[in-house]
Structure formats: C-alpha cells, structure tokens
Amino acid sequence: MTADTEVYYDPYDFEIDNDPYPVWRRLREEAPLYYNGKHDFYAVSRFQDVEQGLTDWKTYSSAKGMLLEIIKAVVEYGVELPPGNILFEDPPIHDVHRGILSRVFSPKRMLAIEPKVREFCAQTLDPLVGSGGFDFITDLGAQMPMRTIGMLLGIPDSDQEAIREAIDASLALEEGDAPKQQPIDALAYAEGLFGEYIDWRAKNPSDDLMTQLLEAEFEDEHGERRRLTRTEVLVYVSNVASAGNETTTRLIGWTGKVLAEHPDQLAAVAADRDLVPKVIEEVLRYEAPSPVQARYVTRDVEWYGETVPQGSVMLMLNGSANRDDRKFDNGDSFDIHRKSEHHLSFGFGLHFCLGASLARMEGRVALDEVLKRWPHWEVDYDGAVQARTSTVRGWTRLPVRIDA
C-alpha cells in the first residue's frame, strides 16, 4: 500500500489524540524520524529508537522540561523551572534528588499500603453494587491514586479531593493550540496545595513519607550534608502527587475500557484473577497513560540520514514504541496472554517512573476489586469523555453498564 498523503502527527490535535495509533504506525513505517513544521519538533516512534533516546540523557536533556510546550517556554521565553523537580533535571543534580526520593519511595513501602488501598476500594465500590453501573473514573480511578499517595504522605482525607481537582485543572488543554505554559507559578501552586500540611507535619512527625522527607539527610551537589529545604520538600511532594495521580487515574480508566472492548479476555481474567497482573501489564503497554516524552536536543544528531540540529525538541513516542511490531508480535492487538516483555510506559533510563510499583499495585487492586463485584461490563460511550493534556492520555469519565 502506498500512502496518498504525507503522514501528519500533532500532539495538540484532538482528532489524532482520540486514536493516535494509526498515525503512529505510519510514523514507524514511513517516517521513523518525523518532523512537524507547525509546532517545530522532531519525533522518533520505534521501540529501539525510543529506548535508546530515553537512555541517552546527554543528548536528549530533560533540563528544560519534558513537555513540548514547557521546553518551548523555557527556550523561547526564558521561563525558569522550579528547582528540585527531578523530571526537569539531568545528572549530577538529578541523581542527588532522585537518590533521596528513591530511598523514601521504596517499592517495599508502596506495597505495604496495599491492604489499605483494598479497603478504600471496598468502601467505594460496595455501595455501587446493584446500581446497574458505575464510572471507572469518577467513582474509582479519580479518587484512588490521590488517596493512595495521601496514605503514603499522611495527608488527611478531607484535603485530598481539592488537591486532585486543582491538579487536573492545571493540566487540561484547549483544543487546537499548544497550551499556555504553566510552570511559572508552580511553586505558588504547590504552596497552596501542600504548604499548610508540610508545616503541620513538621510539628507532628509520624511514620509517613512526608516525615521521612522532612528528616532525610543527604549530600547535595556541593558536597554538603544537609536536610531538604521547605521549598524542596514542597516541590518533591507536588511532583509525586501530580505524577502519581493523573497517570494512575488514566491507567484505571484504560483498564475498564480496553477490557470492555475485549469481552473474551475480560471473561478470562474474571474467571482466573491470577491473571490480573498480566492484564495490567498489557493495558500499560497497549494504552500508555503518558505516551509522549519531550526532550531538548543538546547536540546535532543523525537519525536515518537526517540531521536533527542542536536546540531542537525531540518527542520520544513511548506509546508508539509499545505497539512496534519489531518488539511485540502484532503490536496493535491487545493480548493478555502475550509473552512478557518490558514496555516503555514507565519510560526508560534515569527518569524511569519512580512510582511504577505503586501504579502497578493500584492497577492490580482496582481491577481485582472490580472483578470481585462485577465479572462483566459495557462502556456507555454517550457519557464517556476523553481527557485532554499534552502528556497524559485517557478518560475523565468512563461510565459502564452492568447487566443484572
């Protein structure tokens, strides 16, 4: 088959975002190095290329941000990014900050709260049994990640819902254009969300992650041993909360949608819930909640015979890489029985998702608790609404019908 039109990819085009996979497939086959003149960015889309690019932080820097519009704002308008956000850092400073978080945010600690998360699911889902349906997002996915992070941080339940709404609002896109960049007031914004809680927790230490962050001692980039400043803690916590909220909400939504579209596989996992972890992995691969990672190109690099000049923005399309037939047999098909292989939904290299264990646990628990109550559901697409952000892809509403 020959392509009649040249392939066009635009992360701000809602039409494409509804189902980017046909475009991404064409990128992989026809334009493995893609250039978009309208928004002035390059993109790679094959598994091997994305994996290699994400590892090579010297060439593909995160120091100017990891969203297209943020890098543009930093490069063109000289916007300054808040310090301490490990997503916007390269080594050596990245390693200092990541080291602290990695110690505090241990997989063991995350898995330890699983029983509490299950309990929250039960409280949320039990009242919905017999009601004929529920919404994967508003009834479950929107709340659970915030509550889970709240449990880790020790945030009181009453403060949690407001925090999540504020974060969602700050990430929402207007159709057609690159969004106005948001990081200018990030610090003030984080202050509004977590400032009071940090001060309260500093006076009332407990065994939560916040207390550990406040008390953690580390060697900074100047070789000085110290604790984190209040501002640094603020930035860390807002990062952890926003990164973990939004993406995990989308994971739970995709789980509901993709399984409804594959009723035979839904029946299989409903009959054998030992398959739940495999299902979550396949959902992660198939519908990456964060499918596009932007990087700033620090030197001229060659891709497929073309030169990408220093100063460009490169999009690493990890959501496309996950569908690459070169890595995954029949990559565009959803198959919970496929051979286990690592995918790029949590990124790769030094920015690999710090909360991957947490997200996996939440995805597992959410699906398991839903399946305990309902072995089958159908999406009510009239009521379903897709979320619009340039880095996170998924649903803001996903109502499902349960046949009695």
Q: By the criterion CB under 8 A, which residues form the site for other proteins?
A: 51, 55, 91, 95, 98-99, 102, 107, 277, 280-281, 339-342, 346, 348-352, 356-357, 360
User: Which residue, 25 or 98, is less far from other proteins as judged by CB?
Assistant: 98
User: Which residue, 149 or 279, is less far from other proteins as judged by CB?
Assistant: 279
Beta strands 225-227; 217-219: pairing state:
antiparallel
Q: In whole angstroms, what is the distance from residue 46 CA to residue 391 CA?
A: 18
Least CB distance to other proteins at residue 178 (A): 29
Least CB distance to other proteins at residue 397 (A): 28
Least CB distance to other proteins at residue 162 (A): 32
Least CB distance to other proteins at residue 54 (A): 9
Least CB distance to other proteins at residue 200 (A): 30
Amino acid identity for residue 362 in this structure: E
Least CB distance to other proteins at residue 322 (A): 13
Q: How far is CA 133 from the centre of its chain?
A: 27
Spell out the residues 6+ positions from residue 228 whose beta carbon is closer than 8 angstroms to its own: 100, 213, 214, 216, 218, 236
8 Å CB contact between 221 and 90: no
User: Which residue, 115 or 311, is less far from other proteins as judged by CB?
Assistant: 115
Least CB distance to other proteins at residue 392 (A): 20
CB atoms within 10 A of CB 250: 25
User: Which residue, 107 or 192, is less far from other proteins as judged by CB?
Assistant: 107
Least CB distance to other proteins at residue 360 (A): 6
Least CB distance to other proteins at residue 174 (A): 34
